[in-house]
């Protein structure tokens, strides 16, 4: 109960530090999902329509990658971006960009695998029709993606859910630096370690609220768009 | 590799919140320990430094062991930690320029009010740990190669007890930070060795309290080191040196002494 009242008070107070943290969380995770979608959707669709040796192995691999442990991804990205690593010269470690890179790696397999699933179903239904229109397998990808756009929203939301909720990767590559790379999940981890459990829980409630708002916004957009599409 | 690199650059440019954007305001990265951050010390003193010099200080707070490893990789300009032997090794191996004493406080053994091992009021920390081991009362260890963990291991060593042999039994290695270990200790009624600063500012004490303190072997010294720019050319030597000088100078030392939680001074400046 105290966590609930603390979170309400935090939201209502309009605390600038809290808003900074919330906005950075959204910026990092939304951007990561955007990039992951640009990579994962075409990849997933291509895997859905393509027929080539080793495809089955790739599908299993892709599905397994959905369960990539964030802390391992964080460690790998840290080793790449560290000044002792191959990409150290970019000076990206402990920046929001590093966090985005880590989240892209986590989210891309999720979006690709769910896209593959959705597009494959559509393809089974429409393959003959698409072929009769003279479209090749790969040429039909844009049409299939567009047709499956509402199902693909779920893929995006699943990716966003993963990104906004994970702490293991961003705390390693971001360093949880105040006003620079501190996001909701790393703040919750920090407050827990300070023993401020009700504040940590309050921040957790706010994080859930953010995820809920994003999902509600997408659902609303989806319904509106669907209605227009069928008028 | 080239693709990765260009993707990363494109990303950085698109987001526009990295290096280039931040380059206008000079900043340094300080690899430090959870105790200096969780106690609120750095939040209290760093703004004074930034106001004076215009240099922003970005703190990465991890265990001392990890902080030293990160600094060894060149992922920081200044190291502010508390494990003197490891710090000296860091300098000897050429990763740091020079080590300076900054401040000290002490470690305390906290435990449940019921005190099953009966160590309350003891001032001999080694004897107290021996008694905990003999009664097999639960003890939660950091187990993370942090400064506090190293200090704890030295005490077990002095007591002639191989605590690691009891790991999983009465001796629990959490492998996490001071706060997480204190949370666990409070929940399972275990004894914990903590630095006093983290303990005083800790918000979830439960019925735990300080049972053992006052042993000279519980002394906890913090040191500061500029990461060697000859090892890592990316190190911002000038800004880093400015910070080291400020921290061990009159103003930094006064700022450390002035920081109090619940009217208690948490760190005692002792730079030469």
| pLDDT exceeds cutoff 90 at B3 | no
Enumerate the H helices of B54-146 as residue ranges.
Answer: 64-72, 84-92, 125-135
Q: Would you state the pLDDT for residue B18?
A: 46
Collect contacts of A146-151 with beta carbons under 8 A, ≥24 apart. A147/A122, A148/A115, A148/A118, A148/A119, A148/A122, A150/A222, A150/A225, A150/A226, A151/A118
**Is B75 close to A192, i.e. CB distance below 8 A?**
no
Position B22 confidence tier, pLDDT thresholds 50, 70, 90: very low
Q: Would you state the pLDDT for residue B20?
A: 44
Name, in order, each residue with C-beta under 8 angstroms of B183's C-beta and a sequence gap of 6 or more: A192, A193, A195, A197, B204
Q: Would you state the pLDDT for residue B129?
A: 97
Which superfamily, per CATH, for B106-218?
Periplasmic binding protein-like II (3.40.190.10)
Length of chain B: 272
Q: Would you state the pLDDT for residue B7?
A: 53
Q: Would you state the pLDDT for residue B268?
A: 97
Q: Supply the ipTM of this predicted assembly.
A: 0.85
Q: Would you state the pLDDT for residue B2?
A: 54
Ranges of residues in chain A with a pLDDT under 50 are none
A14: left (phi over 0), alpha (psi -120 to 50) or beta: left
Domain B2-104+221-269 in CATH 3.40.190.10: yes
Q: How many domains does the structure of chain A reveal?
A: 1
Tell me the mean pLDDT in the region B124-145: 96
Per-window interface: B 168-187 vs A, CB < 8 A: 177-180, 182-183, 186
A230 within some domain: no
Rg (CA), chain A: 20
Break chain B into its structural domains and give their ranges. 2-104+221-269, 106-218
Count of alpha carbons within 13 angstroms of residue A5, beta-carbon side = 2
- Closest-CA distance, A196 to chain B, in angstroms, reads 5
Comparing B115 with A225, which gets the higher pLDDT?
B115
| pLDDT exceeds cutoff 70 at B6 | no
B23 touches chain A (CB under 8 A): no
A211 within some domain: no
A94 within some domain: yes
A70 within some domain: yes
Which helix (H) or strand (E) covers residue B245, if one does? helix B237-248
| pLDDT exceeds cutoff 60 at B10 | no
A87 touches chain B (CB under 8 A): yes
Mean pLDDT of chain B: 92
Range of the domain at A67: 19-184
A197 touches chain B (CB under 8 A): yes
| CATH code (residue A73) | 1.10.3720.10
pTM, two decimals, is 0.89
């Amino acid at each position: 109960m105290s966590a609930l009242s603390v979170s309400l008070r935090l939201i209502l107070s309009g605390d600038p530090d809290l808003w900074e943290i919330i906005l950075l969380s959204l910026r990092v995770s939304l951007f990561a999902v955007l990039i992951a979608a640009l990579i994962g959707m075409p990849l997933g669709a291509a895997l859905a329509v393509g027929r080539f040796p080793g495809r089955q192995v790739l599908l299993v691999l892709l599905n397994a990658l959905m369960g990539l442990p964030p802390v391992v991804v964080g460690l790998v990205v840290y080793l790449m971006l560290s000044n002792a690593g191959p990409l150290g010269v970019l000076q990206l470690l402990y920046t929001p960009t590093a966090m985005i890179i880590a989240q892209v790696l986590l989210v891309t397999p999720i979006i690709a695998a769910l896209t593959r699933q959705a597009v494959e179903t559509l393809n089974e239904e429409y393959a003959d029709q698409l072929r009769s229109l003279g479209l090749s397998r790969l040429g039909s990808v844009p049409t299939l993606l567009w047709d499956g756009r509402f199902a693909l929203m779920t893929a995006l939301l699943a990716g966003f859910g993963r990104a906004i909720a994970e702490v293991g990767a961003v705390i390693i590559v971001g360093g949880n630096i105040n006003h620079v790379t501190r996001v909701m999940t790393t703040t919750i981890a920090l407050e827990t370690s300070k023993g401020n459990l009700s504040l940590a829980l309050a921040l957790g409630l706010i994080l859930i609220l953010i995820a809920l708002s994003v999902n509600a916004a997408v659902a609303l957009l989806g319904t509106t768009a669907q209605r227009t599409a069928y008028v | 590799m080239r693709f990765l690199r260009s993707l990363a650059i494109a990303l950085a440019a698109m987001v526009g919140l990295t290096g280039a954007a931040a380059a206008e305001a000079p900043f340094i990265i300080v690899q430090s320990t959870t105790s200096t951050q969780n106690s609120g010390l750095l939040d209290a003193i760093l703004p004074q430094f930034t106001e004076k010099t215009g240099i922003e200080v970005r703190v990465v707070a991890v265990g001392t062991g990890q902080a030293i490893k990160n600094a060894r990789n060149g992922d920081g300009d200044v190291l502010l930690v508390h494990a003197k032997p490891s710090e000296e090794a860091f300098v000897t191996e050429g990763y740091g320029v020079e080590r300076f004493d900054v401040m000290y406080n002490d470690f305390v053994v906290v435990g449940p009010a019921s005190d099953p091992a009966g160590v309350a009021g003891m001032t001999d920390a080694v004897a107290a740990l021996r008694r905990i081991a003999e009664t097999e009362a639960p003890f939660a260890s950091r187990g993370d190669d942090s400064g506090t963990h190293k200090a704890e291991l030295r005490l077990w060593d002095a007591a002639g007890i191989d605590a690691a042999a009891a790991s999983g039994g009465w001796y629990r290695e959490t492998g996490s930070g001071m706060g997480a270990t204190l949370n666990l200790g409070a929940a399972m009624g275990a004894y914990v060795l903590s630095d006093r600063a983290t303990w005083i500012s800790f918000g979830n004490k439960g019925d735990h309290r300080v049972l053992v303190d006052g042993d000279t072997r519980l002394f906890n010294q913090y040191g500061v080191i500029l990461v060697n720019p000859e090892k890592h050319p990316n190190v911002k030597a000038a800004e880093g040196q400015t910070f080291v000088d400020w921290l061990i100078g009159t103003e930094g030392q006064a700022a450390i002494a002035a920081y109090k939680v619940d009217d208690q001074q948490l760190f005692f400046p002792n730079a030469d």
